[in-house]
Every structure is written in C-alpha cells, then in structure tokens.
Copies of this chain bind each other. A is one copy, B any other.
Amino acid sequence: MGIDWPCSKTGGTMRTVEWHDGRVRIIDQRQIPWELAVLDFENYTDIARAIREEVVRGAQAIGVAAGFGLALAAQQFDATNRLELLRYLEEAAALLRSAHPGNEILNRSIDRVMATAGHASLQRVKDIRREMLRDVQRRADEIVSANHQMGELGAALIRDGDTVLHHGYTGALSTVEWGTALGVIRTAHEQGKQVRVLVDETRPSFDGARLSAWELKTLGIPFEIIPDGAAGHFMQQGQVNLVLVGAYRAVLNGDTANTTGTYALAVLARENGIPFYTVTPAAHIDVHLSGGKELPAVALNPEEVRAPFGISIVPADYPAQNPAFDMTPGRYTTGVITENGIVYPPYSINLRKATRGQLQPGLQSGPDEPPKPEKADQLPLLGDL
C-alpha cells in the first residue's frame, strides 16, 4: 500500500497509530529518517513490546497505541462471558502499563478504556469489544482535533519571515497526527507564511535531528539542525524570533517538564527578549500539582549518552548521566498554547481554566451515547480574562 505521509486535513492517508482492517498499524519511528515503514500488530503483547522498544513514542501516541492494544486483546481472546473478558483485560492492561512505567498519559488512556469495558450497561462480550474500539477511536480523534486547534491558535504568533527555535520532538509521530509545537509551525506554513526552523538536535536521543528534521523535510519547511549548545548563539545573534517547545506535564504554577535542554532555552530566551511558548494539550496539565518541584527527577539509561545508536563515543565504563526531562519554571514561559486557548500568567488561575475546557465527564450517560464534553469557555487568550 502507498503511504502518503504526512497526512493533512486535505489529503494524506495515515495517522501514526491507527486501527486498520482489524489490526493496529503503527509507523516504526526507529526507521526515521531513513525509511517510512509501518508495522501491523495482531496481538496486544506485540504492542507492549513495540512501546518498550520505542517503535512508537510520545505520550499521546503511546496512549492511543495502548488503547488499541486493549481493544485488540478483547478481540483476540475468545471469552465466553463478560467477567472472563474483564479478567483477561486486567492482565493485558497491566502488561501494557509496564511497557512504559510511570507514563501518566498512558495510564490514563488505559484507565479510560478499562472504564468503558467495565461499564455496567455493557453485558455482552461483543458489545464490550465494540465500545472499547469506539472509545479509543474517539480518543484518537480528540487528540488530533486538539492538535489542529493548537496549530490554529499558535500559528497566530508566527509572523511571515520568522525563525522559530524548536527543541525535542513534538510532531505527528508522537501525537497521532499533526503535532504540538511542530504542529503550530506546520499550520503557519500551510497558511502560506515563510517560516524557518532552527532544530535543536536534542541529545542524547537526537530526536530533534532525526524526527523533527525529517518531518520538516517531508513538509517542505526550511530548517537547519544545530547542536543544543548553539541555541544561545543564534538567539544572541538576533536570528530567533520565537521559541516553541512541547511539554510532558504542566503544573498549576506554569512549571513544565519537557525534554532535557528546554530549561536552558527558556532562560536564554528571556535573557534575549525572545518569546518562549510551550505547546501542550490540556490533558497534560495537572492542576493537582502546585509546582514543578513535585515532579521527581527521572534518570534514563546513560548508555544513550555514551553510545548513541550503539556506537561508542567513550568506553562503557565512563560514568554518565541522562536525566529524562528538566523543569522549566513558569516565570520563564511567555505563554502555554493549549487547544482551549493560549494561557498567559497568572498561570495558577488561567491553567485551571484551560483544563476546565478540556474536562471529560466520562461515560456517565452510557457508552452508546457518550455525553458531550463540557463546553469550553470561549477563551482564545485566557490571560486576557
């Protein structure tokens, strides 16, 4: 089959993760930028392995892949009754959670599908199977719709001729479709604006050099890859008009956790008078945490620092550190672009509003006719309220 990636509102054929003909089809991120390859999954255990082996990455894409994994588990298991199926699904859910431990978005995605599966109104196995699949499809659609909305809102901040500095990877591969920070750049580009992107290579994963650059190349958006340490140089030289990054989590006071290296950019941007925006779906905002210090530091395997892609830079016994993310204090952040509006300080008031526009009341009125999400207040610029 021909894959016409990247998909767009007007053309294109494929999301990063999608249900296809009774299977789950996922773009294999490990092959990017060298090849655009897809893998088809018939078994939830293989999906768990794909998450573990980083075939699919990015909280949103992982969440949807795991959701489809559960839907697959429901179909592959020949259950004779509801309880038998639910017991089997508990096992599958545990395996899928363990594929990326501590991933809040993944856990929430699984919680949601399991709530659907266990809903009292569903008694027949075939009804449970159908509603689980519908629920994941709906979640994927919501994510994609939020991405497009963030794109529209954020693109208004990009002027014709601007150079945007970007860190990490925030594109379609990690977000099912379109992307967050890269989605904003893409929308501006599709609006006909001249946009140039300075792409932080984003060590140690090289996600910026590999994934962000590949996506920009595919979309025909002009870019240059730079070493992470060079970002300040280009800001100082007056070459950067705007910094756009994503976030794993945002908390009440506007602190955000994102790919390591983001904090430095925020400080450098403020020092050079350059606007610094975080682009993140409201689902990543956690108003129950008051500050970023409540997010414990996470250390990844230092082997990625010593030997990127298995190629040793230094001997294996050289100590190294690989922090999973860093924390950018809200005071350095000009604004947070969500699908419900661009949030400006004071964050502790306005981020809460942004999440209200996103709240999902769940399946209270039954899965066949899910309630509409609470209407988002009309908050294009939440900080203006």
Which positions 235-273 of chain A face chain B at CB distance < 8 Å?
236-237, 260-261, 263-264, 267-268, 271
The answer to whether B203 touches A201 (Cβ under 8 A) is yes
Closest residue of chain B to A312 (Cβ to Cβ) is B34
Interface 9-residue window, one of A122-130, A140-148, A219-227: A219-227
Q: How large is the interface on A (under 10, 10 to 19, 20 to 34, 35 or more residues)?
A: 35 or more
Given contacts A33-B315, A305-B201, A309-B311, contact A227 B264 (CB under 8 A): no
Q: Which residues of the partner chain B approach A223 to less than 8 Å between Cβ atoms?
A: 319
Residue of B nearest to A168 (CB): B229
> Across the two chains, which residue of chain B brings its CB closest to A196?
B319
A203-B201, A314-B33, A327-B236 given as contacts; is B305 within 8 A of A227 (CB)? Answer: yes
A375: shortest Cβ distance to chain B, in Å?
39
Considering only residues 257-313 of chain A, those with a C-beta below 8 Å from chain B are 260-261, 263-264, 267-268, 271, 297, 302, 305-306, 308-309, 311, 313
Q: Which residues of B contact A203 (CB under 8 A)?
A: 201, 203, 227-229
Counting from the closest, the 10 A-B pairs by CB-CB distance are A229-B261, A233-B326, A203-B227, A232-B264, A225-B320, A228-B229, A232-B263, A224-B319, A224-B321, A204-B227
Q: How far is the CA of A264 from the CA of B232 in the complex (A)?
A: 6
Query: A229 to B305, Cβ gap below 8 A?
Result: no
A232: B residues at CB distance < 8 A? 261, 263-264, 267, 326
Instruction: State whether the Cβ of A132 lies closer than 8 Å to any Cβ in chain B.
Output: no
CB <8 Å contact, A313 and B202: no
